[in-house]
Amino acid sequence: MIEELRQRLRALQKTTGLAPGAAEAQEAIVPFGIEALDDALGGGLARGALHEISAPGEAHLAAATGFALGLASGARNLLWIAEDMALTENGAPYGPGLDLFTLAPERLLTAAVAHKRDLLWAMEEALRCRALGAVIGELRGGTLDAVAVRRLSLAAGTSGALALLLRAQPADDASTAATRWIVGAAPAAEQTPFGPGAPRFAANLIRNRRGPLGSWILEWRDQDERFILATPAQPVAAPARHRPRQKVA
């Protein structure tokens, strides 16, 4: 598996025409376009950095996955690495779901590994491939080796790629990640005549190397290929007009 992954990465780098040492042309910071969120992050989400995304529980793993895909949607090519157990319990990436986040199949590579240590190694190797814009590593649980996580951060900084660790539950282990998120599902927008409303995410920023933390309800707009702040799920009543007090008999 390891040698096969190496060969696929070499082939990808060759077909994209990127010479060794030439980083993929992309901004170092990608703004959300949401003022409060961008202010907290120092302008936007940092590329060339590691970010952790955890679901608050198994029931919210699909939402955390969708949030990760939204962050990675602008990458030229994406590698998704998952543990075998994660694929057994959660399944492989679903085509229509990828379409929602405007991720064409030809831009996605997938790999499966038996153990967590293999996943961390494969992520590090992939992050050094300058033909990849983002790498997602899907973990089932447990703590992470601090040295291995540090190596992921360094590898992402070398290539300028976006490194995302997707975890099935929140963790309290030490991390060198630029940000750490807990993301769950939020009530979706009202259903449209064409189907369900846009997906919404309860995004909680619990670690931020820039400092500020916060919580937001975000909605994915596939037309614009970005997150927006969600509007209230129910209409908000207008303020009552001023009425002179009436005496009660």
Q: For 25-52, how does the pLDDT look when each residue is reduced to its tens digit (9 = 90+)?
A: 345 888 999 999 999 999 999 999 999 9
Q: Which amino acid is at 119?
A: L
* Cα separation, 102 vs 110, whole angstroms: 17
Q: Which domain holds residue 174?
A: 44-189+197-229
Residue 166 lies in a domain: yes
Residue 219 lies in a domain: yes
C-beta separation of 126 from 81 below 8 A = yes
pTM, entire model: 0.81
* Helices 116-127 + 146-159 axis angle, to 10: 20
The pLDDT of residue 65 is 93
Residue 121 lies in a domain: yes
Q: In the predicted model, is pLDDT for residue 89 greater than 90?
A: no
Residue 207 lies in a domain: yes
Residue 238 lies in a domain: no
Q: For 134-188, how does the pLDDT look when each residue is reduced to its tens digit (9 = 90+)?
A: 999 998 878 888 899 999 999 999 989 999 999 988 988 888 899 999 999 998 7
Residue with tokens 């933390």: 213
What is the count of structural domains for the chain? Answer: 1
The C-alpha angle 240, 244, 249, rounded to 5 degrees, equals: 110
What is the domain-level CATH number for residue 139? 3.40.50.300
Residue with tokens 């509007």: 231
3-state secondary structure of 164: strand
C-beta separation of 70 from 227 below 8 A = yes
Residue 18 lies in a domain: no
C-beta separation of 191 from 233 below 8 A = no
Selection from 176, 226, 178 nearest residue 201 by Cα: 226
Residue 36 lies in a domain: no
